[in-house]
Amino acid sequence: MEINFKELTLKGDRPLVFILSGAGLSAESGIPTFRDANGLWRKYDPKELASIRALERHTQDVFDFYNERIKNAEPCRPNAAHIVIANFQKEMAPFCDVIHVTQNVDNLNELAGAPRVFHLHGDFQTSLCRKCKKTFPRVGFYEREQVCPVCEATNFAMRPNVVLFGEVPYGMDWIPSYLKKACVFISVGTSGTVYPATNFVRETKASIRINLDLDPLIHPYSKFNHRIYGKCTETLPPLLEELKKELTSRLKEKATE
């Protein structure tokens, strides 16, 4: 599907592009999604191993689960979709703001050179102390004996800094305001049908709302006005290139007025 970016309504002197990315973005790098045919949720019950209740009652099992995920993610490298988002952010910096919020907990966006990425569900690169609530760079795998460098708590004190079922995603105090400012909303590698992402496309005031996903399943109440199906590495690069051309052309013209 071709998108006519000339229909884009710019807002203010520095328009804002909001990109939401999900598991499909990293799937082509070898990181399994949770809900596909071979996904992690097919092997484990999320309520058993990725919830506050499980962390409190079966801490070692939760640690083992996340240690396995970290081990599986370590050899993975950024793909063309990660790289094109990072380059888009850097190339558009003189003209507009690009907010990239990811549901992924891997660091492939950072490895691709992204200048700014916000992890809605936390990340594997940091640990969270269950006692003092401070975060620190992760050291090795999660173990019972790890000690918090600030409050010195131990005995499973240092947990993965990821949002578990039953916890509120990060950034919900400021994300809605940026959604309202956005002129373009792009959801890539996610159906956008799971909370809180399902609310993002409803809350945004963007004139162009695009969903790029491998799965053609559409939520009946979806507010996307453009949908493109296929691999992120194939669909995202040409889309961002066209968007870049339109934005730079119009904003350069506006600057000379």
Residues 115 and 95 reside in one and the same domain: yes
Cis peptide before 196 (omega within 30 of 0): yes
Listed residues 110, 137, 162: the one ending a domain: 162
Write out the two tokens for 193.
């049908």
Residues 246 and 140 reside in one and the same domain: no
Contact 209, 228 (CB under 8 A): no
Listed residues 113, 145, 162: the one ending a domain: 162
Q: What is the pLDDT of residues 184-197, one digit of tens each?
A: 999 999 877 677 77
Q: Is position 148 annotated in a ligand binding site? A: yes
Residues 67 and 55 reside in one and the same domain: yes
Looking up tokens 């703001």 gives: 97
Which of 27-36, 66-75, 120-129: highest mean pLDDT?
Answer: 120-129
Residue from 82, 119, 121, 226 carrying the catalytic annotation: 121
Q: Is position 129 annotated in a ligand binding site? A: yes
Range of the domain at 133: 32-75+123-162
Give the CATH number for residue 209. 3.40.50.1220
Q: Is position 151 annotated in a ligand binding site? A: yes
In the chain, how many domains are there? Answer: 2
Q: What is the pLDDT of residues 214-250, one digit of tens each?
A: 776 655 557 888 989 999 999 999 999 999 999 999 9
Task: Provide DSSP, 59-104.
Answer: HHHHHHHHHHHHHHHTT----HHHHHHHHHHHHHTTT-EEEEEE--
Residues 23 and 36 reside in one and the same domain: no
Decide if 119 is catalytic: no
